[in-house]
């Protein structure tokens, strides 16, 4: 059984109203971040006296690594705050990569800070390098707020360990996600010892004001966008499960009803984090893309059963309350820069592509969709895609394995055969990481500039 949820021309008109001139907010953001790092370096330099001996040099190195770690901790939390300017215009996947990179640098700086500072303290006490562990315990027991900092540092190490690729793949998503939220507690616990033991904050009141302001702004953004905004959204729209429809074996669509859903500001290509208030699912929040253009009274997600949460969606009963956070993501019509567009979907990556296929404005022949699946039985939403293609004069292609299991050829040469002017297209792409990487390389080989290949991963 399949269900059709289409907006047609009205959805395309709504998309046209949302398209704005392209711009890259990443450049000013990166400049601002580096300016903040430069201010931290200047603060350290201005409060660093002449370094008379090696002990002073080691302690100075411990101070600067600590300051930079504290600055990066604030950025790590900022990147978790779901600020729309980052999520929608930079892209959720890019923000996630920034977050992961900032986290790695933070851990390295924290390790360097602890080692160098304790080494310097040991030398000042007439001890040797081998006494660092004992010196660390002494500092925790005697210095103000160091006990909190030790607990916070331990939490950071736990989060970093669970975020290692090989470990994360073996840990259930919900476990990883909820442990990752302990970042907030870790940052809070480590903040206070920066103020009470940091030399820069003791001798420079303006530095303390700056630090309080930095962490205060970040905290306000987290409270507003991670707590208050979702509460307001869900109280206003009161979403619930309308129906659950099996599209293909292992793939279901969940129809979500509510009040004035078109006022949520969602666009085709975006996703929400969904929490279904059913037994066994209340504490699980997962990201799923919209698989159709938003309607005033209906949203739809289409999900493949690949884990405990997604497998249980088929068991949802109509009327089940839904809690959502979003919309998130920048894989929208605003990225478009050319008249012609190629949409490439791999597996369940068809969901945002199907919504874009319906809503992207274009004349007959301007929009092409290439759908990769293991077999024709796995082509979810195919009837809808065919109807949209016929209505719009769009081109719809699929690539499936041969009867003997051989994979289809999606090479640069093959793409050029199918679309001789592919280098004049914008390309929107969604699918598993390996598929996305191989298609990206084929597109680059076919002459498509990297700036016109738009891809976003929603796994975070």
| Interval 298-302 mean pLDDT | 95
Assigned domain for 240 exists? no
Distances from the Cα of 77 to the Cα of 2, 30, 106, 112, 383, angstroms: 42, 16, 12, 21, 43
Q: For residue 83, which of 222, 177, 231, 265 has the smallest C-alpha distance? A: 222
Assigned domain for 327 exists? no
Can you tell me the distance from the alpha carbon of 211 to that of 378, in angstroms, rounded to the nearest whole number?
Answer: 53
Q: How confident is the model at residue 458 (pLDDT cuts 50, 70, 90)?
A: low
Distances from the Cα of 434 to the Cα of 270, 331, 441, 459, angstroms: 21, 19, 11, 14
Q: How confident is the model at residue 235 (pLDDT cuts 50, 70, 90)?
A: very high
Q: pTM value?
A: 0.82
Both 367 and 222 in a single domain? no
Range list of H helices, 223-268? 229-237
pLDDT at 15 over 70: no
Can you tell me the distance from the alpha carbon of 346 to that of 303, in angstroms, rounded to the nearest whole number?
Answer: 13
Q: How confident is the model at residue 283 (pLDDT cuts 50, 70, 90)?
A: confident
Q: How confident is the model at residue 9 (pLDDT cuts 50, 70, 90)?
A: low
Last residue of a domain, one of 172, 203, 232: 232
pLDDT in tens, 419-448: 999 999 999 999 888 899 999 999 999 999
Q: Which domain holds residue 141?
A: 48-232
Element (H, E) at 157: helix 146-162
Q: How confident is the model at residue 25 (pLDDT cuts 50, 70, 90)?
A: low
| Interval 162-184 mean pLDDT | 89
Assigned domain for 306 exists? no
Both 77 and 225 in a single domain? yes
pLDDT at 282 over 60: yes
Q: How confident is the model at residue 329 (pLDDT cuts 50, 70, 90)?
A: confident
Specify the pLDDT at position 26.
62
Specify the pLDDT at position 457.
65
pLDDT at 147 over 90: yes
What 3-state DSSP class applies to 300? strand
> What is the count of structural domains for the chain?
2
Specify the pLDDT at position 92.
79
Assigned domain for 11 exists? no
pLDDT: which is higher, 204 or 399: 399
Distances from the Cα of 149 to the Cα of 73, 107, 187, 340, 393, angstroms: 13, 14, 9, 55, 62
Q: How confident is the model at residue 248 (pLDDT cuts 50, 70, 90)?
A: confident
Assigned domain for 262 exists? no
pLDDT at 160 over 60: yes
Specify the pLDDT at position 232.
96
Q: Are strands 425-430 and 340-346 parallel, antiparallel or unpaired?
A: parallel
Last residue of a domain, one of 176, 205, 232: 232
Assigned domain for 290 exists? no
Residues 313, 243 contacting (CB under 8 angstroms): no
Q: How confident is the model at residue 334 (pLDDT cuts 50, 70, 90)?
A: confident
Q: Per mean pLDDT, which range of 7-11, 241-245, 314-318 is the poorest?
A: 7-11
Both 222 and 359 in a single domain? no
Both 227 and 341 in a single domain? no
Q: Which residues, in sequence order, are bridge partners of residue 21?
A: none
Residues 302, 351 contacting (CB under 8 angstroms): yes
Q: Residue 351's domain is classified under what CATH number?
A: 3.40.50.80
Assigned domain for 350 exists? yes
Specify the pLDDT at position 2.
45
| Interval 350-376 mean pLDDT | 92
pLDDT at 296 over 70: yes
Report the mean per-residue pLDDT for the chain.
88
pLDDT at 97 over 90: no
pLDDT: which is higher, 14 or 114: 114
Last residue of a domain, one of 232, 256, 287: 232
Both 52 and 194 in a single domain? yes
Can you tell me the distance from the alpha carbon of 303 to that of 298, in angstroms, rounded to the nearest whole number?
Answer: 16
Specify the pLDDT at position 110.
96
Both 55 and 183 in a single domain? yes
pLDDT at 131 over 50: yes
Distances from the Cα of 202 to the Cα of 56, 58, 143, 205, 292, angstroms: 18, 20, 14, 7, 56
Specify the pLDDT at position 388.
94
pLDDT at 12 over 50: no
């Amino acid at each position: 059984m399949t269900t059709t949820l289409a907006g047609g021309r009205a959805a395309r008109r709504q998309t046209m109203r949302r398209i704005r001139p392209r711009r890259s907010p990443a450049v000013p953001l990166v400049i601002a971040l580096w300016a903040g790092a430069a201010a931290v370096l200047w603060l350290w330099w201005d409060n660093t006296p002449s370094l008379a001996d090696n002990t002073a040099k080691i302690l100075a190195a411990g101070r600067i690594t600590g300051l930079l770690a504290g600055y990066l901790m604030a950025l790590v939390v900022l990147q978790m705050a779901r600020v729309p300017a980052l999520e929608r215009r930079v892209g959720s996947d890019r923000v996630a990569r920034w977050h992961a990179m900032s986290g790695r640098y933070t851990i390295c700086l924290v390790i360097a800070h602890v080692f160098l500072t304790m080494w310097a303290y040991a030398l000042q006490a007439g001890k040797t390098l081998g006494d660092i562990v004992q010196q660390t315990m002494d500092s925790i027991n005697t210095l103000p707020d160091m006990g909190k900092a030790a607990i916070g540092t331990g939490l950071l190490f736990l989060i970093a360990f669970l975020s290692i690729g090989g470990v994360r793949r073996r840990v259930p998503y919900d476990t990883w996600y909820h442990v990752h939220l302990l970042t907030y507690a870790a940052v809070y616990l480590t903040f206070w010892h920066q103020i009470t033991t940091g030399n820069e904050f003791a001798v420079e009141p303006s530095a303390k004001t700056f630090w309080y302001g930095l962490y205060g702004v970040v905290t306000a953004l987290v409270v507003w966008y991670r707590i208050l905004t979702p509460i307001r959204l869900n109280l206003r729209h009161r979403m619930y499960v309308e129906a659950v429809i099996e599209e293909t074996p292992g793939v279901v669509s969940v129809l979500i009803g509510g009040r004035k859903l078109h006022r949520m500001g969602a666009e085709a290509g975006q996703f929400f984090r969904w929490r279904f208030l059913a037994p066994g699912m209340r504490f699980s929040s997962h990201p799923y893309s919209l698989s159709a253009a938003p309607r005033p009274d209906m949203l739809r997600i289409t999900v493949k059963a690949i884990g405990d949460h997604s497998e249980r969606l088929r068991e949802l009963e109509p009327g089940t309350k839904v809690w959502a956070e979003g919309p998130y993501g920048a894989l929208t019509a605003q990225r478009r820069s050319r008249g012609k567009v190629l949409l490439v979907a791999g597996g369940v990556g068809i969901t945002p592509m199907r919504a874009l296929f319906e809503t992207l404005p274009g004349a007959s022949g301007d929009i092409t969709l290439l759908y990769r699946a293991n077999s024709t039985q796995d082509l979810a939403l195919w009837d809808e895609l065919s109807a949209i293609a016929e209505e719009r004069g769009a081109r719809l292609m699929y690539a499936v394995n041969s009867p003997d299991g051989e994979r289809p050829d999606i090479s640069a040469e093959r793409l050029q055969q199918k679309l001789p002017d592919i280098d004049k297209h914008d390309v929107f792409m969604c699918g598993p990481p390996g598929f996305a990487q191989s298609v990206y390389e084929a597109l680059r080989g076919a002459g498509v500039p990297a700036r016109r290949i738009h891809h976003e991963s929603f796994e975070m």
